[in-house]
Amino acid sequence: MTKPMFDTIALIGIGLIGSSLARVIAAKGLASHVAIATRSAATLDTARELGLGDSYHTSNAEAVRDADLVIVSVPVGASEAVAREIGSHLKPGAIVTDVGSTKASVVSQMAPHIPAHAHFIAGHPIAGTEQSGPEAGFAELFENRWCILTPLPDADVDAIARLRSFWEACGSTVEEMDPDHHDRVLAIVSHLPHIIAYNIVGTADDLETVTKSEVIKYSASGFRDFTRLAASDPVMWRDVCLHNKDALLEMLARFSEDLSSLQRAIRWGDGDKLFEMFTRTRGIRRSIVEAGQDTAAPNFGRNGPKSNTGEAAE
């Protein structure tokens, strides 16, 4: 068999992303040894029961000691604490990366604590589900997904190349981006949609004239599509809001302005404006399906003949 890409990979944090990494590393033989570290003894036991690694640690410092690649998969708000713990224990040439959904904040939290003899390259695999915890992971999570790396200008090119190859071996396509630009892009494609989803589910939960059982019963008419995002890990999303604040507040302001104008069109019965607003959005859906970023099956293929792809009606 071919030599694995890395001798030892340390996974700090073993939730949906960390445990999916453990599974794909094992499935593809990308490391000789996988060291798993998490603060919670209970979560570590679960990881052990699932057989996700070769060694298990509650100390991050201990887990990274022999690691050639360290992947930090924790809520972004915990990044600095982790970097502080592992910094002085990294071996020369070790590559340190993360999977956080915000990048400028993670870079400023972690970079200062990574010694010159190691290589810090922040990253973000655009992959996930609404589920969390070590049981939720699966080896295929990163297949045909994008992974964005946000290396600093002085980052080691060989280290970037090795990290790139790692993600490609996981099935992803790698892009490089400036951390601030990453945060603006994700604010609109991911962070705002999650905030909006959480918000509308909360609004429905507060109604007096419509019962919760009615909301659940008739949710197939649109509402349920939002509940998937609103079921995501609350700690992760709290931290995203706190650590991509500026970009998110800008997107929220734009969204609210647009919504006020739509609300005004409804109040004043401006059918032409509503029609125009509701027409322009169809093209984007078509492009997303054409780009292979979503299924063309109507209703996400929840019902109806499999053969019925969207094209006919477009």
Of 84-123, binders to its own copies (CB under 8 A) are none
Q: Enumerate residues 173-202 that contact its own copies by CB under 8 A.
A: 181, 184-186, 188-202
What gap in Å lies between CA 151 and CA 313, rounded to an integer? 43
Rg of the chain taking only CA atoms, in angstroms: 22
Q: Give 66 or 178: the residue with its C-beta nearer to its own copies.
A: 178
Contact between 295 and its own copies by CB under 8 A: the answer reads: yes
**Residue that is written with structure tokens 């090119």 in the block:** 157
Distance CA 12, CA 314 (A): 46
Which of these, 164, 119, 122, 121, lies nearest to 146 by C-alpha position?
164
Q: How far is the CB of 22 from its own copies (least distance, A)?
A: 15
Of positions 1, 88, 153, 221, contacts its own copies by CB under 8 A: 221
Residue 3 to residue 276: CA distance in whole angstroms:
58
Amino acid at site 260: S
Residues in 225-284 that interact with its own copies by CB under 8 A: 225-232, 234-235, 237-239, 241-242, 245, 248-249, 251-252, 254-256, 258-260, 262-263, 265-267, 269, 271, 274-275, 277-282, 284
Contacts with its own copies, 128-167, as mask; x by CB under 8 A: xxxxxx-xx-x-xx-xxxx---------------------
Cβ at position 5, least distance to its own copies in Å: 23
CA distances from 39 to 12, 15, 82, 128, 296 (A): 9, 12, 10, 22, 41
7 versus 311: smaller Cβ distance to its own copies: 311
Residues 17-76 that bind its own copies (CB under 8 A): none
C-alpha span between 263 and 266 (Å, rounded): 5
Q: Supply the minimum distance, in Å, between the C-beta of residue 115 and its own copies.
A: 30
Q: How many residues bind its own copies (CB under 8 A)?
A: 120
Neighbours of 126 (CB within 10 A): 18
